Structure 1
Amino acid sequence: MPTVRINVKPEILSWVQAQIEIDDLRSAIRDNFIKWLHGEKEPTLNQIEEFSKATHIPLGYFFLNAPPQEDNSFIEYRTVDSIQLSKPSRDLLDTIDEMERIQDWMKEYLFDQSMDNLDFVGLHDETVSIESMVMSIRDTLKIEKDWYTESKDTWDSFKRIRTKMEAIGIVVMMNGVVGSNTHRSLNIDEFRAFTMIDKLAPLIFINAHDTDCGRLFSLVHELAHIWYGENSLFNDKYLESQNSIERKCNAIAAEIIVPNDIFVQEWKRINDELQLKIRKLAHDFKCGMTVIARRALDNNFISQKTYKELADTARMIYFQNKENSGPGGDYYNTALSRIDKRFLLAINDSAYQGKTSFSEVYRLTNTTRKTFENIIDRARGTAS
């Protein structure tokens, strides 16, 4: 029986080419695709399925008559190391799609509950001073200037701020993979966090592959974007951005995490050598060495070169410690950390009221029945 080959439209193949990095493909898959692209050979169904799996391009796209109209307008807000990039990965696009589905569900749920719009979304514009923005955010979150003194460490600071944000209506999600697919790890070099603005259900997504310090900074940086009412896709490693909003969000995040007047006072008080001083201050402010080093740079206490060395060292130490600590961790606690508790409890209530099917619940939360029941029990025990 002759092999059945599929006539994929040339414009579809050209569109696919623009979505992928051909050099990243295995040689056999890459060579086949180049032949399809040049019209030298038509693919079999098995070859298309293999290519779809390797690139995460949806299988159905290959059978369209014209390229799909994907809405990638969100990507225009992306800043990666202060450089605008144009080709997002399928992992990023699929994560954004997943978060849009969650946000849409939450918006509909809150609308049905007759909830009011959140007045802090887009509350201020760029004309408002950094000091006023910081005060507004602190007041809304109900945190003091030295809020960090109540934290045990950087991770505890992250959880504390996240809980405060969820309490005022911000959906905070976090993951290191696409959905529950452990083979599709999210690349920290592509993005650290993003924000999707909505008056009812603003959503922040944090890339779990970042350091604890990076997660904390990204969380507060994205919070500032909500106050400006602007979508954001962020991977500025606390460097000087060319974008004025990014610079302001960096400044706001830094001031909330490490108030500058307290920092300067403590910097002058501690007389240890530089590395030890940075570590002591990172411990005191519960924020990690990188933010402290950047604060020192902002105040001209260290050079740009020294800052980079300190930041690189801090990142290396973090991941070495993480690797040495082994896999560890509780599966259900990890699953719970990925999902906004308010969303989790809302979708559970909706399911038991018969308004949302359990299959939809498991799809939106990337869980099974057993996993979902376990994390619901834990969420009820920890939700504020």
Structure 2
Amino acid sequence: MPRVNPDVLKWARETAGLDLDEAAIKLGIKDLRAISGADRLAVLESGDDEPSRTLLLKMTQQYRRPLLTFYLPAPPRQAERGEDFRTLPEEYGRRDAALVDVLLRDVRARQEMVRSLLEVEDEASTLPFVGSFDMTGGAKQLAGEIAATLGFNLAQFRRGGRNDAFAYLRDLVERQGVFVLLIGNLGSHHSVLDVELFRGFALADPVSPFVIINDQDSEAAWSFTLLHELAHIWIGRTGISGSNPSTPIEVFCNDVAGQILMPDGEALREDALRGAGTDQVMARIRQLADAWQVSHSAVAYKLFRGRIIDRETWIEVSGIFRGQWLQNRAAARERNKENENGPNYYVVRRHRLGNRLVGLSARMLAEGALSPSAAGRILGVKPTNVYALTGASSGGASGRAA
């Protein structure tokens, strides 16, 4: 009978972002008379004792690792996350990095399952736009290529509210073969991923590219983030993006998104804001954000990049808008706590997963190409929930895909 590798136990805990005290609490390891729960866990990690089967199963849940991982001869290398395009504030530490790694590992696993499914079912085809663009061509040219490929109509995008605008854009993107998911935590409010920690993630796979948008961000910002990550796919650069565009690639991808949603000609008409006071700039940004169906921060950034406002003004107004949004979000959450009749679980889930991923899973379930357990892993839900979530009939499933 193979033994659990104590080095892997320690590695799994640390990469889950937990110290000994936190892990002991989550695993239910209680203090005894002469030894604390944390010390008892440390004994297991030193190899002086072996975890019980029950405790090991708890570790698979809390550390988010398959059971077989704990029997590996050595801790595996860090999962491939692509490039890291973020510039993080100093206050974000080891636990935050671990949470992001868990998210990216989960997304990678789901994406690989989707690709394998498409290949097995002979539905895999190489998407010509993935990695097709060289940045030397310029942001404006790429913006034009993306808009043309999507069939994007700016007037239609701006016709409804921001939710309608994002739904319209997302549908165009998914029709081209890109899976667009909204993920802002690891399954509970205890694992929320702040926007400063990660705003978006692009997986530039030529068969099944994924875009992840942090839904903890303002809904008004989702369209801009989606186009930013789409630019990453066009230039073939898999990676994670933050909220501070301080690298050349991030500036480039922001300029692409800004050119599509707020063409240069419109921004240059705002000459009256040159040298204007903060209150005037903020009032005009509010008007433009409403008219353009984008966030205040996106408008402020566009005006800064167009040299309508200077860096100091951009930083100042962005900080004020950010603070106001955080206050409004906190107030909205308090109101939602008092509302017993929240949104339907399956409606929310489908919205976060996107029509393309839900639709593919439903069709494969109905055809028997996908088992409920495999569908649950792809969709991030329990196998018992997949039929209600997808609307697929359970009668035709033969479970060919494990």
What TM-score comes out, normalization by structure 2 length?
Answer: 0.77
How far apart are 1:37 and its partner, in Å? 6.2
Alignment of 1:117 with 2:126, yes or no, is: yes
Q: 1:38, CA displacement in angstroms? A: 7.0
Amino acid at match of 1:78: D
1:276-295 matched pairs, under 5 angstroms: 276-295=283-302
State the alpha-carbon separation in 1 of the partners of residues 362 and 213 from structure 2.
23
2:252 matched residue in structure 1? 248
Residues 291 and 187 of structure 1: CA distance in aligned 2, closer, same or farther (over 3 Å): closer
1:122–1:228 CA contact under 8 A, matched in 2: yes
Q: Structure 1: how far apart are the matches of 2:67 and 2:359?
A: 34
Determine the C-alpha separation between the residues in 2 that align with 1:368 and 1:143. Answer: 36
- Once the two structures are superposed, the pairs formed by residues 85-104 of structure 1 within 5 Å of their partners are 89-104=97-112
1:181 to partner: Cα distance: 4.6
Partner Cα distance (2:345, 2:10) in 1: 42
Rate the CA distance shift 1:341–1:24 in 2: closer, same or farther, 3 A.
farther
Letter in 2 for 1:156: D
Counterparts of 1:23 and 1:101, CA distance in 2: 26
TM-score scaled by length of structure 1: 0.80
Report SS of the residue matched to 2:260. helix
CA distance in structure 1 between the aligned counterparts of 2:93 and 2:203, rounded to whole angstroms: 19
**Shift in CA distance, 331/60, structure 1 to aligned 2, threshold 3 Å:** same
Share of identical aligned residues, percent? 22
Q: Is 2:368 the partner of 1:343?
A: no
User: How much has 1:255 moved relative to structure 2?
Assistant: 1.3
Number of residues paired by the alignment?
Answer: 365
Cross-structure match for 2:184: 176
Contact 1:122 1:229 in 2 (8 A): yes
Q: Determine if the alignment matches structure 1 residue 317 to structure 2 residue 317.
A: no
Deviations 1:108-132 (A, max 9, x none): 3433344531111111112212111
The aligned residue for residue 365 of structure 1 is: 379
Superposition pairs for residues 11-50 of structure 1, below 5 Å? 11-12=7-8, 15-16=11-12, 19=15, 21=17, 25-26=21-22, 30-32=38-40, 42=49, 45=52
Deviates more, 1:369-378 or 1:136-145: 369-378
Contact 1:12 1:67 in 2 (8 A): yes
Unaligned runs of 5+ in 1: 1-5, 379-384
Q: Would the aligned equivalents of 1:332 and 1:374 in 2 still touch at CA under 8 Å?
A: yes
Structure 2 unaligned blocks of 5 or more: 25-35, 337-341, 393-402
**1:77 matched to 2:83:** yes
Residue of structure 2 in register with 1:164 after alignment: 172
- Larger relative CO (CA 8 A, sep 6+): 1 or 2? 1
Q: CA deviation at 1:336?
A: 0.9
**Distance apart, 1:54 and its partner CA:** 5.3
What is the aligned counterpart of 1:212 among 219, 241, 244? Answer: 219
Counterpart among 113, 116, 119 of residue 105 in structure 1: 113
Question: Which string of whole-angstrom CA distances, capped at 9 and with x for unpartnered residues, describes residues 251-292 of structure 1?
Answer: 111211221211221464999822211111111111011011
2:312 pairs with 1:308: no
Once residues 316 and 155 of structure 2 are traced to their aligned partners in structure 1, the CA distance between those partners, rounded to angstroms, is: 28
Q: 2:146 matched to which residue of 1?
A: 137
Decide whether the 8 Å contact of 2:376 with 2:386 is kept in 1: yes
Change over 3 Å in CA distance of 1:183–1:18 after alignment to 2: closer
| Shift, 1:313, TM fit | 2.5
C-alpha change, 1:353 and 1:257, in structure 2 (3 Å) is same
Do the aligned residues in 2 keep the contact of 1:121 with 1:198 (CA within 8 Å)? yes
**Structure 1 residues 202 and 215: CA distance shift in structure 2, 3 A:** same
Instruction: Measure, in 1, the Cα distance between the counterparts of 2:55 and 2:391.
Output: 44
Q: Is the 8 A contact 2:114 2:378 kept in 1?
A: no
CA distance in 2, matches of 1:217, 1:276: 21
Aligned mates of 2:317, 2:289 — CA distance in 1:
12
Question: Over residues 334-375 of structure 1, what are the superposed CA-to-partner deviations in whole Å (9 max), with x where a residue is unaligned?
Answer: 111121312222221222222211232233223457754444
Distance 1:56 1:221, change over 3 A: same
> Aligned AA for 1:318?
W
- RMSD over equivalenced CA pairs, Å: 3.5
Change (3 A) 1:132 1:366: same
Q: Matches of 1:91 and 1:334 in 2, distance apart?
A: 22
Q: Structure 2: how far apart are the matches of 1:257 and 1:29?
A: 54
